[in-house]
Structure 1
Amino acid sequence: MVLTCTQTDYLHPALGGCFGPGCLVSYGTDLVGDAFNGHTTPVPDSDPLDNCNGHGTHVAGIIAAQSNNPYGIIGAAQGVTLGSYRVFGCSGDVGNDILIAAYNMAYEAGSDIITASIGGPSGWAEDPWAAVVSRIVDDGVPCLVSAGNDGSEGLFYASTAANGYKVTAIGSIDNTLSPALLTESKFKIGDGALETFGFTGGSPAAWGGVTRELWSVNFNTADTANGCDPLPASTPDLSNKIVLIRRGTCTFVQKITNAAAKGAKYVMFYNNVGGTAVVSGVVDGVLGVAMTTADQGAAWIKALEAGSTVTLNMADPQTAPKTLANFVNTLTPGFQSTYSSWGPTYEVDVKPQFSSPGGMILSTYPRALGSYGVLSGTSMSCPLAAAVYALLMNARNTKDPKTLENLVSSTAKPNFFSNGQTQSKLLAPVAQQGGGIIQAWDAAQATTLLSVSSISFNDTDHFVPTRNFTVSNTAKKSITYSLKNVGAATGYTFQAEGDITPAAFPNEMVASFATLSFAPATFTLAAGARQIVAVTAVAPTGLNAKRLPVYSGYVAINGSDGSGLSLPYLGVVGSLHSATVLDSESTLLSLANDDENNAVAPNTTFILPPAGHANDTAYNSTVLPKIVVTLSMGSALLRVDVVPVNNCTTVAKNAPVVFGTKSLGQPASFPLAYNARGVIEATWDGSLADGTFVAPGVYKLAVRALRIFGKPELGSEYDLTETVQFRIRYATKAKRAVPRAGM
């Protein structure tokens, strides 16, 4: 049995200690090299060793870690062979071209399962990487991909390549325990004796040998937004302190940034729940971030409030001894992780397919980074699901992707909705949890098989009221089945009517369910027989269709043999085609060096490098115009037309008309296909998509985003906005060139 994952520290004793035939990690390659960051030139070699990233090593351990480790962990699929295709350097990201190459290599090597804990916002099954993965599935190789870690973005934020047709997207469930690997260090209160405490190092982690006093933002251990606001003017210089901040409300980066603004170089968080977490918070000037337990932080706060000094003597988290402490997760045990990305796709395909434990998972880590670590994400839930697939392949003697997905989905257990703080009496939406949490044993033992893993009734415009699926009895005796509808929470996409951007999690949930009827609703199948079932839906009523509510639930299929399966379904009340996809107010022309994307004034003049010389070092000081497009929903096609303002020139007179607007063509970065919602930025040096350059003159840009389900050949199917007019001139010699207002 063969699985593939990203780069792995195969020299780790729990991962076999070697690479090549006969080893646990037996094949693969490095497509990029250590220095690759997503923008530099890849430097491939034959060795996929991970000694600096950690992500792939953690994934590999979840699948296949051996039992020879100090913490008693073991991979879920013992006996498999791993392939390792390195697509990340020590930092940064990666593009579709390298991901597609890795998938093709893994397929050609004969992998039985391909899994990737990688993704990015998309929502379109036609995305190039997703399309390639779909073809591999069509050729008989199951492909499981992380659903994404953007749960905060709300509905319609499916990730690629998980959003591909037939690609199995895996959501994340939180662990019932919160394991913490604590680096042992020392502290003292006042002139007292040294005491031991534990912490988990983050990124950056230059803690070795640091001895400094603690300084706290305040003494309120119940402050949910501790450190979220800029620190007051009375704050002392924090460059010689370790800043103590409670976890909660805003991002780690925001808290660290506020501390760094007052000179902080080291930040110690204390948790707001049991255990600790790995904090990623790279901020200029900050050398170390870490987290200790809630109880330890509260004890330090109490001492500081009493007027005592608290001094920490920090050990290096990469080399110092660690202890494993397991804390009970009292907040979200077994519930969907709040970070787990929501579907459906923009064409209302069901995503994710199902979920598995991914929150707070202890696994292997590169030896250079401490050998073991606790991480959270759909990156962790995906390899566990892939390992279950491997077990099922052996247990059921099948490698068919469709059969495996249907089995795992139908035997998964839906759970109730949690907003991260409290639990609802409503089942979590299918768009969040898919079929629910996987049940490997049930999938291995199931004798009733379904022909599909989920059902979509689409939106109101494309509503398909009746869908068919097949129930097959593979048992050795007759079974009588009864079907019923179990509704899940309906989630509103938009917070209020008139909103154009989906609401952030936790979006509004209501108890409004579709009505389902079944033909037949009860039937008996002899051993080896099958039955086609027609399920007809009536969408829930009383909902505000302009807010695009997404309804869902489960077809419960109960057998007289005691079996119980569920088939997830969903649909949308309202018209996705009518949804605004282009945020006109935030689509504009800015400056390449303006990180805040402020709009330039009308009639700004840009002095650009001579045609074809934008990358010459002589023009490094040139400030190019930046096209900023903000999509409030996904768009399958984004085009930007360069419109001449002075229609008297020969070029302008001869310019073709595109959807009623004269156009000289599109900037070289456009058009863009299958875009996620969010901000798209592109600098422009005057070049067009056909390789030519526009002449000096006055222009504006017409930005068009195709609406969901829109027909690209019709101009009326696009949202349209235009930038202010601006002038372009080209420099004739190397000199500092900056934009200036006026014509």
Structure 2
Amino acid sequence: MTSKAHSSSLFISEKNKVAGGYVSDFSQWGLTNELVALPTISAPGGFMLSTHPLALGGYAVESGTSMATPYFAGCIALLFEARGKISSSTVQSLFATNSNPNVFHDGVSAYPWLDSVAQQGAGLINAYDAVHAKTVLNVSSISFNDTEYLTPTSFSLKNTGSQDVTYTIDQVGSGTVYTLANDGTTIPVFFDAGDFMETTATYASLSFSSKRVVVSPGQTAVVRVSAAPPKGLNASRIPIYSGYVTLNGTNGDSLSIPYLGAATSMRNVTILDTKHGDNVLKSSVSSKPVTAGQVFTFAGPHGAETNTSYPVFDLLLSMGTRLLEIDAKSSNGTVLGSIAQFPQEFKSRSATGASGVEWQGYMADGSNVPAGSYSLRVRALKIFGDPAKNSDYDVVETPWFKVRYVEGGLTPHRL
């Protein structure tokens, strides 16, 4: 091996698998469980020439949010310098409505339709147009929700210039993407470059209260818009449609508002899937599913951990949930209450990790159950579900199991 002091420089040229201006294939897709449009905007962040520690050369090609975030922050600083103090919502609207949507790219090839709003948001940031735009909108995106809560919405546009402006309003649809694969699974698909989620060019039909409005200087116009989701799609796979409302003004302003929606009812989406070996009760010793009447030996508050065994609920959320409950039930079917560390709110799909939920007999109120027979009831609130309605939960009831203690029996004990 050659010492650093005497080694020569080595230059490596990496193949750039994504074209500039497109969303990187490793970029995370947005869209919240409640169908709020995210991400808001795309910023350059793939294969960026960046400063680097001097000891490591001073410059390097890096990728990720560490590149995109400071770029976007610099654009915000330029906007404040040019337009003065404005609200955060106005900042968001100016950047979103003046961004440049690009076509769909799977990391290898481009496609002949616009990329989904769920991936690129409003499009690639354009600081110059955001600074100089004379038209200010009150929204940065539009969500048409799902088929159960589909309702018309509206947006306003203000003319901050010095002359009358006539705006022509229309839309451009983008590709509709299937959240779930066509194999019955209920967890969103994963993909690699060139192997993308299934996409169709079918998009929604929008209608406007007016497709041509005239706005005087300093005045505001309100436009009402409604959507008809694309037809012929498999609703069980959660198709997400999206596109852009376009606004072209006689003053030269060319703006767009990203929109999206789900061509399904999100209340019907599975949260706790038991068809693929998940969300079952297992033994901490064997890791095998629990059979009815299986005996577990708990340590208890004063017992040793020797020869103990516990039920472990192998929790896997197909989608996030606003409320996750795990209750203990006695052998007569009485719900005793929440186990320790539950209920939990706003759980993401990946929040539980791989270890599962182990129950050692402790309850949320600090007590522990006596020896006896129990089961666990797991409930996850469905998307848009009402916490007060039992029908709005995905529910898993585990088999009954027996609890004994290392101490040879235990009466209810408060910690």
SS at match of 1:470: strand
Change in CA separation of 1:314 and 1:422 when aligned onto 2, cut-off 3 Å: farther
Query: In structure 1, what is the Cα distance between the partners aligned to 2:198 and 2:128?
Result: 35
Query: In structure 2, what is the Cα distance between the partners aligned to 1:320 and 1:592?
Result: 54
Tell me which residue corresponds to 1:589. 281
Q: Which amino acid aligns with 2:281?
A: L
Q: How does 1:718-729 map to 2 (within 5 A)?
A: 718-729=393-404
Query: In structure 2, what is the Cα distance between the partners aligned to 1:344 and 1:320?
Result: 49
Q: How does 1:126-525 map to 2 (within 5 A)?
A: 329=16, 331-365=18-52, 373-464=60-151, 466-496=152-182, 498-505=184-191, 506-525=196-215
Tell me which residue corresponds to 2:269. 579
Are 1:704 and 2:379 counterparts?
yes
Q: For 2:289, which of 599, 606, 619 is the aligned residue? A: 599
Structure-1-length-normalised TM-score: 0.50
Change in CA separation of 1:398 and 1:701 when aligned onto 2, cut-off 3 Å: same
Tell me which residue corresponds to 1:48. none
Q: Which amino acid aligns with 2:69?
A: C
Q: Aligned-pair distance for 1:701?
A: 1.1
Structure 1: runs of 5+ lacking an equivalent: 1-210, 212-312, 648-660, 734-743
Query: In structure 2, what is the Cα distance between the partners aligned to 1:481 and 1:474?
Result: 14
Query: In structure 2, what is the Cα distance between the partners aligned to 1:442 and 1:386?
Result: 16
Change in CA separation of 1:314 and 1:463 when aligned onto 2, cut-off 3 Å: farther
Change in CA separation of 1:327 and 1:439 when aligned onto 2, cut-off 3 Å: farther
Q: Which amino acid aligns with 1:698?
A: S
Query: In structure 1, what is the Cα distance between the partners aligned to 2:323 and 2:22?
Result: 36
Q: Which amino acid aligns with 1:548?
A: I
- Kept in 2, the 8 Å contact 1:611–1:686? The answer is no
SS at match of 1:643: strand
How many aligned residue pairs are there? Answer: 399
Q: Aligned-pair distance for 1:323?
A: 6.6
Change in CA separation of 1:713 and 1:732 when aligned onto 2, cut-off 3 Å: same
Change in CA separation of 1:321 and 1:570 when aligned onto 2, cut-off 3 Å: farther
Query: In structure 1, what is the Cα distance between the partners aligned to 2:341 and 2:53?
Result: 39
- Kept in 1, the 8 Å contact 2:322–2:346? The answer is yes
SS at match of 2:42: strand
Q: Aligned-pair distance for 1:557?
A: 0.8
Tell me which residue corresponds to 2:329. 643
Q: Aligned-pair distance for 1:610?
A: 2.6
Question: For each residue in 1:670-710, what CA deviation from the matched residue of structure 2 results, as whole angstroms up to 9, or x when unmatched?
Answer: 11111122472222221100000011122221111111111
Q: Which amino acid aligns with 2:23?
A: Q
Q: With a CA cutoff of 8 Å and minimum separation of 6, indicate the structure with the bigger relative contact order.
A: 2
Change in CA separation of 1:323 and 1:353 when aligned onto 2, cut-off 3 Å: farther
Change in CA separation of 1:324 and 1:361 when aligned onto 2, cut-off 3 Å: farther
Query: In structure 2, what is the Cα distance between the partners aligned to 1:337 and 1:620?
Result: 52
Q: For 2:305, which of 599, 619, 643 is the aligned residue? A: 619
- Kept in 2, the 8 Å contact 1:361–1:375? The answer is yes
Q: Aligned-pair distance for 1:444?
A: 1.1
Q: Which amino acid aligns with 1:697?
A: G
Q: Aligned-pair distance for 1:369?
A: 6.9
- Kept in 2, the 8 Å contact 1:628–1:679? The answer is no
Q: Which amino acid aligns with 2:394?
A: D
Q: Which amino acid aligns with 1:475?
A: G
Change in CA separation of 1:718 and 1:672 when aligned onto 2, cut-off 3 Å: same
Question: For each residue in 1:350-392, what CA deviation from the matched residue of structure 2 results, as whole angstroms up to 9, or x when unmatched?
Answer: 1111110112234345567776544322343223212211221
- Kept in 2, the 8 Å contact 1:449–1:473? The answer is yes
Are 1:666 and 2:338 counterparts?
yes
Change in CA separation of 1:682 and 1:388 when aligned onto 2, cut-off 3 Å: same
RMSD: 2.7
Query: In structure 1, what is the Cα distance between the partners aligned to 2:246 and 2:24?
Result: 24
- Kept in 2, the 8 Å contact 1:696–1:727? The answer is yes
Change in CA separation of 1:328 and 1:499 when aligned onto 2, cut-off 3 Å: closer
Q: Which amino acid aligns with 2:336?
A: L
SS at match of 2:67: helix
Q: Which amino acid aligns with 2:186?
A: I
Query: In structure 2, what is the Cα distance between the partners aligned to 1:568 and 1:518?
Result: 15
Tell me which residue corresponds to 1:68. none
Query: In structure 1, what is the Cα distance between the partners aligned to 2:85 and 2:35?
Result: 29
Tell me which residue corresponds to 1:527. 217
Structure-2-length-normalised TM-score: 0.87
Question: For each residue in 1:384-409, what CA deviation from the matched residue of structure 2 results, as whole angstroms up to 9, or x when unmatched?
Answer: 21221122111110241011000000
Change in CA separation of 1:643 and 1:341 when aligned onto 2, cut-off 3 Å: same
Query: In structure 2, what is the Cα distance between the partners aligned to 1:338 and 1:357?
Result: 13
Q: For 1:713, which of 383, 388, 400 is the aligned residue? A: 388
- Kept in 1, the 8 Å contact 2:18–2:24? The answer is no
Q: Which amino acid aligns with 2:217?
A: A
Structure 2: runs of 5+ lacking an equivalent: 409-415
Q: Which amino acid aligns with 2:153?
A: R
Change in CA separation of 1:688 and 1:716 when aligned onto 2, cut-off 3 Å: same
Q: Which amino acid aligns with 1:666?
A: S
Tell me which residue corresponds to 2:252. 562
Question: For each residue in 1:44-95, what CA deviation from the matched residue of structure 2 results, as whole angstroms up to 9, or x when unmatched?
Answer: xxxxxxxxxxxxxxxxxxxxxxxxxxxxxxxxxxxxxxxxxxxxxxxxxxxx
- Kept in 2, the 8 Å contact 1:451–1:470? The answer is yes
SS at match of 1:504: coil
Query: In structure 2, what is the Cα distance between the partners aligned to 1:320 and 1:441?
Result: 46
Q: Which amino acid aligns with 1:356?
A: A
- Kept in 1, the 8 Å contact 2:297–2:307? The answer is no
Tell me which residue corresponds to 1:628. 314
Tell me which residue corresponds to 1:690. 365
- Kept in 1, the 8 Å contact 2:300–2:361? The answer is no
Query: In structure 2, what is the Cα distance between the partners aligned to 1:426 and 1:468?
Result: 26
SS at match of 2:187: coil
Query: In structure 2, what is the Cα distance between the partners aligned to 1:620 and 1:393?
Result: 64
Query: In structure 2, what is the Cα distance between the partners aligned to 1:339 and 1:602?
Result: 45
